[in-house]
Structure 1
């Protein structure tokens, strides 16, 4: 039968053979991609994070994804350096973690990333001195209160978006790298966003999306720079997660809870330089890539205009 098929193929014009070859390669490529997706999301074992060090640092750990990371890292047996703005909230999350994982050592550092950042980073450096710091989660960040055109972004919000999202992550990374280089091991995870990594554009969130695009490229470059020095740098690109920032209260299949996202996220540390850890998000990603950018842009603009309208209505009610 095989000889018969080969004989029939040889008798065909060259362009038929070319099309057959291209089709076969396309099917093979698709099959390999599907198998790789299954392996990465369901079969590949998570790395032992303790091999990087016994301590982990998390910025923005008092709420949302950062809080989820703090609990999951403690569950894995790592000690924690928690960096946040509010002393009372840092105490609350520390007490909650200790109530569940009593053997965890926790240090807290009060840093207002919108304030004197240099002084804050200095306190971080002092707190991690002498620690076997192996994992750093750069999670701290802000978005718009609600969607708005670029000319509607006030100076304070513009400054904070750039300072917290860009400068904060950059300076914390700069502060922790020397120790990791000395120990020749470490993992740095920077939290990006689907606004910069999946959808073609995010109209009415232009500055937020641009700051996350910086995080994406920054992480990719550092991954290449430090991979051969034992340091894994990764940008994680989540889509919607049930957080206050996303204004989503309930989790669902496509919108994980913060703990659900963090569990998936820990399993991806140390592998790809850029990933979307929660596997249902990758289904949305695939759909977006299959659609023309003009359709996705139009949908996002219409969707975000709805958010803008609701936000403006809420503001007007407050004034009344």
Structure 2
């Protein structure tokens, strides 16, 4: 039972025992209801201001270059296009050289003055070591990398119970989502500390934040929870040095990943295109340590917070099992 309900019950009990007038109970309960309504109204107004009225920061003030991991598809690709339009030069990191060349040519056709460096790098390689990260360190050497978008991430090929995930699959997820993000952040921070300015954006997931659990995608959700905690801690550590660290928490976006694991195949009111998401996301860079940039995702999050965890757990489990195509019983 919630503390508010307990408080109301105590008031009613006191009133009955002391035979007080009913208004002595109604008045504090009404005041409490007004405070709760006011709190939610203020939250709504704040959300409207952040989403539609607050001015985005001048990202070039952080530095003239932006580094984007996972830059050849989905959200990462959309970020690359948007940051180029904001006047930033780009360092694009991905494992597919042909795709890197293609997106580089596309962006330069639209923004002829944009300088673009590409780095072919596979975050899922067997050993993501200090030596391996040298490719990225060399690419940023001597450049003012003011914005880092840690977008690279992978998940299960399909919904699976924890014991079904083979070692290579879960180790790849850990290497890409957790270790890769950590190492790239550490590599870029050195220059940001020297210049006393920078913005780091880590792409999290509603699977780890908005809902209390994400059954049948447990390891993926756990790595994204790590990203959220890392971002919050670094935000506190480095804010005084002029470095803004943020975890952005999208829900479903119409990307290849969402299509493969959740059958999300097209844009809807609550499922934005990568381009729409990136436009909203750039407006939030440099502000809150955690945010849900796209307005419709924020609405979904607000409703999710009103529901008990047990109901959300059951709902997520039923979705996972349906996507897996089996009954709940498993040998």
Scaled by the length of structure 2, the TM-score of the pair is 0.88
Residues 1-320 of structure 1: pairs in structure 2 closer than 5 A: 14-115=24-125, 116-118=127-129, 119-247=131-259, 248-309=264-325
Distance (whole Å) between structure 2 residues aligned to residue 308 and residue 102 of structure 1: 46
Deviation string 1:134-167 (CA, Å, 9 cap, x unpaired) is 0000001100001000000001001101111000
Q: How many Å apart are 1:24 and its aligned residue?
A: 2.7
Q: How many Å apart are 1:21 and its aligned residue?
A: 2.8
Distance (whole Å) between structure 1 residues aligned to residue 319 and residue 186 of structure 2: 37
Secondary structure (helix, strand or coil) at the match of 2:320 reads helix
How large is the Cα RMSD of the aligned pairs? 1.4
More deviation in 128-137 or 295-304? 295-304
Secondary structure (helix, strand or coil) at the match of 1:147 reads coil
More deviation in 22-31 or 175-184? 22-31
Q: How many Å apart are 1:13 and its aligned residue?
A: 5.6
Q: How many Å apart are 1:14 and its aligned residue?
A: 4.5
Deviation string 1:21-60 (CA, Å, 9 cap, x unpaired) is 3223222212211211111111111111011011000000
> Is contact 1:276-1:282 (8 Å) kept?
yes
Secondary structure (helix, strand or coil) at the match of 1:246 reads helix
Distance (whole Å) between structure 2 residues aligned to residue 302 and residue 75 of structure 1: 42
In structure 1, list runs of 5 or more residues that go unmatched. 1-10, 311-320
Scaled by the length of structure 1, the TM-score of the pair is 0.91
Distance (whole Å) between structure 1 residues aligned to residue 286 and residue 136 of structure 2: 23
In structure 2, list runs of 5 or more residues that go unmatched. 1-20, 327-331
Secondary structure (helix, strand or coil) at the match of 2:149 reads strand
> Is contact 1:147-1:205 (8 Å) kept?
yes
Distance 1:137 1:17, change over 3 A: same
Secondary structure (helix, strand or coil) at the match of 1:267 reads helix
Distance (whole Å) between structure 2 residues aligned to residue 160 and residue 307 of structure 1: 22
The corresponding residue for 2:16 is: none
More deviation in 32-41 or 117-126? 117-126
> Is contact 1:110-1:120 (8 Å) kept?
no
Deviation string 1:97-128 (CA, Å, 9 cap, x unpaired) is 11111111000111111114233311111111
Distance (whole Å) between structure 2 residues aligned to residue 61 and residue 47 of structure 1: 22
Q: How many Å apart are 1:16 and its aligned residue?
A: 3.9
Q: How many Å apart are 1:12 and its aligned residue?
A: 7.9
